[in-house]
Amino acid sequence: MDIDAYRDLDPPARVLLGPGPSNVHPRVLRAMSMPSIGHLDPGFLKVMDESMDLLRALFKSANTMTFPVSGTGSAGMEAAIVNFVEPGDRVIVGCNGLFGERMIDVAQRCGAEVVPVSAEWGRVIEPEAVQTALRSQARTKLVCLVHAETSTGAWQPLEEIGRLTREHEALFLVDAVTSLAGCDVQVDNWGIDICYSGTQKCLSCPPGLAPITVGERAMRALEARKTKVQSWYLDLSLVRQYWSAGRFYHHTAPVNMIYAFREALRLIHEEGLEKRFARHQLHGDALHAGLEALGLALHAQDGHRLPVLTAVRIPEGVEDLKVRQALLNEFGIEIGGGLGPLRGKVWRIGLMGHSSTRANLVQLLTALEAVLPRFGFKLERGAGTAAALAVLDG
Amino acid sequence: MDIDAYRDLDPPARVLLGPGPSNVHPRVLRAMSMPSIGHLDPGFLKVMDESMDLLRALFKSANTMTFPVSGTGSAGMEAAIVNFVEPGDRVIVGCNGLFGERMIDVAQRCGAEVVPVSAEWGRVIEPEAVQTALRSQARTKLVCLVHAETSTGAWQPLEEIGRLTREHEALFLVDAVTSLAGCDVQVDNWGIDICYSGTQKCLSCPPGLAPITVGERAMRALEARKTKVQSWYLDLSLVRQYWSAGRFYHHTAPVNMIYAFREALRLIHEEGLEKRFARHQLHGDALHAGLEALGLALHAQDGHRLPVLTAVRIPEGVEDLKVRQALLNEFGIEIGGGLGPLRGKVWRIGLMGHSSTRANLVQLLTALEAVLPRFGFKLERGAGTAAALAVLDG
């Protein structure tokens, strides 16, 4: 093997404005690069406890069972579902984008009887539709919704559906992968029983962990299972024994990722949650105004557009991939393409966590103004940034 | 929230001589702290390809399907089992320690009909015992063994059992969590179809990834499944689409962990595999000589003792936890306690990867010489280090 052919790592400089990862604050990278210690070292147990405290405050929850799952956001989804679904359980899933579809796939692999409540990709799920599904004669175990649908940019309201779910004595499971730390997530107030996220979106931590929180009602359902959880790795009845006073060894925790996670949480609480949500909202509003001023159309339902992830329609005649390559190669800016039925139809722009800055927003709009006319798309130069700045400066 | 109460991360300085994590080389920590980029960025795809090349060379395998699973070593175990076991499949599992038992648990959660081939904790599994199990009338799908049993220090020979397994047209699955990069693992030559490891042992990378390699016969078995893999997150028929030319999005790869992984692999190949195995063997031999010269007894079967992980019996009257605490608090040295039936009966000492140095070995023996007499254990001062040095200096 010619090992000299494998050079020093040299990742390109990027402004990460896709659907994740977002740019990571240098303090998080520095924390992650501290020397590894043992996963049962008293020094590490303190890091775990503090991370749990900071995470509870972020989820706005008093749930004891609140910690990062040792896998990416999708592992969080799987943990959230496999622990609470047994074969034959009736599960209602909101299906209006890729991540709702993925929940259906995961639930079916657990033997669930899935009842999809569908809406067009880009629209939100209406409480009435969930209520109809809940009113069926069969008892529902779980209602699953995606708070921020990363494939469409839709922002799902949760509070009323949370209330309905509880009325029907089902558990309420929410995917907050793209919303947590960018949009308000009130686990306890909104009656959410199980909520998970990922680290690489609005938390601005590298990908690799899935924060999760599980309430008492859900823990009782876990304890009442008749069958073993099908995943040993994600079995919360085992994992919880490590993330609690017993510190019983389950698997070796990803120590350095948890260093990074704790530091990302510190940054979030230093900024303050409400101030952080307002920053994301302001930059999202400015982006939306700027894109519309350029003559582009936003994909998600009006009134339900996420500030942190925007799906914008690709104009007729403009080549998806060539635009993204020009942004990446000429400006160092990453944005995302569409998924599933929206492939080639939308771009997905993230303004998440440390990436959600005035400078990044203005750079992106300027780059789009430079690139789009190459494809015959007519726009008024300067209109995008002017509209965005008008929002930013109030 | 009083965020100022959460101080700058300040992990204690440790010499990691437990069952993992091992000490991480500064170059690996530096690589890990490079800025995150997108998981579909051309710059990252190159990092992935190079990691796969370097990992194939480490596994001594030409398998295309060779990459790190996005979870710790236990996720590697689960991926290795759930993809190849369907309900009712007959699975033979060598059971002579905690990790064999864990494989049984994971396989049963997939609905396997498990046939355990047991040996005392500390002894290896004999080929004859596996042969007897294979000769049953029912067709066996999978034979699973742990190469380096981290709970006992036993070093399982694989070659003959690999040959027998192939004769019976079963698949051979090997847990190389603690051996890979410290002991020789010859996936192709030994007829191993599925092999996984962890990053935090002899690879000396932080915990969080599970390198895996899967051969053609196993891939055909995956393609021939009648049922979906029960884990969506670990479904290799999906994950492979990301770790190959199509780069089809499955989940967001843990980008910075893969930076670290690639750098750890570079260090391994810079040293050279055979030289690295010889270093681990020499330091393991010296440790064994040193411990025996102190009057301690090694737990694993003579002739089958791992150089990278040593289980040593705790002498009568010596308090397990107090010794480990003294090593940690006075010397900054971490060693591991026993698991399962060996809890309180053995200590587990790792000399893995970057932790396997002459200096660490001498430090540990000296610290044991200082601490053990406090519990009334009689030893000859200097005997341990002298015996170790005699081995080291040939």
Q: What is the domain-level CATH number for residue A362?
A: 3.90.1150.10
Regarding an ipTM greater than 0.90, the answer is yes
H-state helical runs in chain A: 26-32, 42-59, 73-82, 98-109, 127-134, 159-167, 216-223, 236-242, 255-271, 273-293, 320-331, 358-371, 383-392
Contact call for A232 and B339, based on CB within 8 A: no
Cβ atoms of residues B276 and B181 within 8 Å: yes
Residue A374, in any domain of the structure: yes
Tens digits of residue pLDDT in A198-215: 999 999 999 999 999 999
Contact call for B231 and A229, based on CB within 8 A: no
Cβ of residue A23 closer than 8 Å to a chain B Cβ? yes
What local confidence, expressed as pLDDT, does residue A138 receive? 87
Residue B380 to chain A, least CA–CA distance (Å) = 31
Residue A43: pLDDT above 90? yes
* Residue in B closest to A38 by C-alpha: B21
Tens digits of residue pLDDT in B317-348: 999 999 999 999 999 999 999 999 999 999 99
What local confidence, expressed as pLDDT, does residue A277 receive? 98
Tens digits of residue pLDDT in B142-182: 999 999 999 999 999 999 999 999 999 999 999 999 999 99
The Cα A8–Cα A105 span in angstroms is 40
List chain A residues with CB under 8 Å of B13: 35
Cβ of residue A35 closer than 8 Å to a chain B Cβ? yes
* Residue in B closest to A30 by C-alpha: B33
Contact call for B334 and A70, based on CB within 8 A: no
Residue A301, in any domain of the structure: yes
Residue B178, in any domain of the structure: yes
Q: Mean pLDDT, to the nearest integer, of B218-247? A: 96
| Residue A230 shares a structural domain with residue A89 | yes
| Residue B237 shares a structural domain with residue B135 | yes
List chain B residues with CB under 8 Å of A33: 29-30, 32-33
Residue B1, in any domain of the structure: no
List chain B residues with CB under 8 Å of A78: 231-233
Q: Mean pLDDT, to the nearest integer, of B357-362? A: 98
Classify B280 as helix, strand or coil: helix
| Residue B236 shares a structural domain with residue B300 | no
Name the pLDDT band for A244 (thresholds 50, 70, 90): very high
| Residue A110 shares a structural domain with residue A247 | yes
Cβ of residue B233 closer than 8 Å to a chain A Cβ? yes
What local confidence, expressed as pLDDT, does residue A130 receive? 98
Structural domain count of chain A: 2
The Cα A6–Cα A233 span in angstroms is 33
| Residue B357 shares a structural domain with residue B220 | no
The Cα A101–Cα B58 span in angstroms is 38
What local confidence, expressed as pLDDT, does residue A1 receive? 84
| Residue B234 shares a structural domain with residue B111 | yes
**For helices B73-82 and B98-109, angle between their N-to-C axes, nearest 10 degrees:** 40
Residue A157 to chain B, least CA–CA distance (Å) = 25
pLDDT > 70: what percent of chain A?
100
Contact call for B47 and A9, based on CB within 8 A: yes
Cβ of residue B245 closer than 8 Å to a chain A Cβ? no
Range of the domain at A242: 26-269
Contact call for A255 and B14, based on CB within 8 A: no
| Residue A200 shares a structural domain with residue A79 | yes
**For helices A273-293 and A358-371, angle between their N-to-C axes, nearest 10 degrees:** 20
Residue finishing a domain among B246, B269, B292: B269
Residue A8, in any domain of the structure: no
| Residue A302 shares a structural domain with residue A385 | yes
Name the pLDDT band for A333 (thresholds 50, 70, 90): very high
List chain B residues with CB under 8 Å of A270: 3
Tens digits of residue pLDDT in B48-61: 999 999 999 999 99
Contact call for B43 and A11, based on CB within 8 A: yes
H-state helical runs in A23-82: 26-32, 42-59, 73-82
Which two three-digit tokens encode residue A238? 């085992």
Q: What is the mean pLDDT of chain B?
A: 97
> Which among A47, A78, A249 has the least Cβ separation from residue B233?
A78
Contact call for A75 and B70, based on CB within 8 A: yes
Residue B138: pLDDT above 90? no
Residue A13, in any domain of the structure: no
| Residue B240 shares a structural domain with residue B138 | yes
Tens digits of residue pLDDT in B179-206: 999 999 999 999 999 999 999 999 999 9
Q: Which of B204, B231, B269 to mutate to test the interface with A (most CBs of A within 10 A)?
A: B231
Residue finishing a domain among B269, B285, B301: B269
Which two three-digit tokens encode residue A203? 């938390």
Residue B333, in any domain of the structure: yes
Cβ of residue A6 closer than 8 Å to a chain B Cβ? yes
Contact call for A47 and B11, based on CB within 8 A: yes
Residue finishing a domain among A234, A254, A269: A269
Cβ of residue A253 closer than 8 Å to a chain B Cβ? yes
Contact call for B16 and A37, based on CB within 8 A: yes
| Residue B302 shares a structural domain with residue B255 | no
Residue B201, in any domain of the structure: yes
| Residue B326 shares a structural domain with residue B251 | no
What local confidence, expressed as pLDDT, does residue B77 receive? 98
What CATH number should be reported for the domain holding residue B40?
Answer: 3.40.640.10
Identify any residues that bridge with B210 across adjacent strands, giving them in sequence order.
B69
| Residue B135 shares a structural domain with residue B200 | yes
What local confidence, expressed as pLDDT, does residue B136 receive? 87
CA A349 to chain centre: 14
* Residue in B closest to A14 by C-alpha: B37
The Cα A137–Cα A142 span in angstroms is 15
Cβ of residue A266 closer than 8 Å to a chain B Cβ? yes
* Residue in B closest to A44 by C-alpha: B11
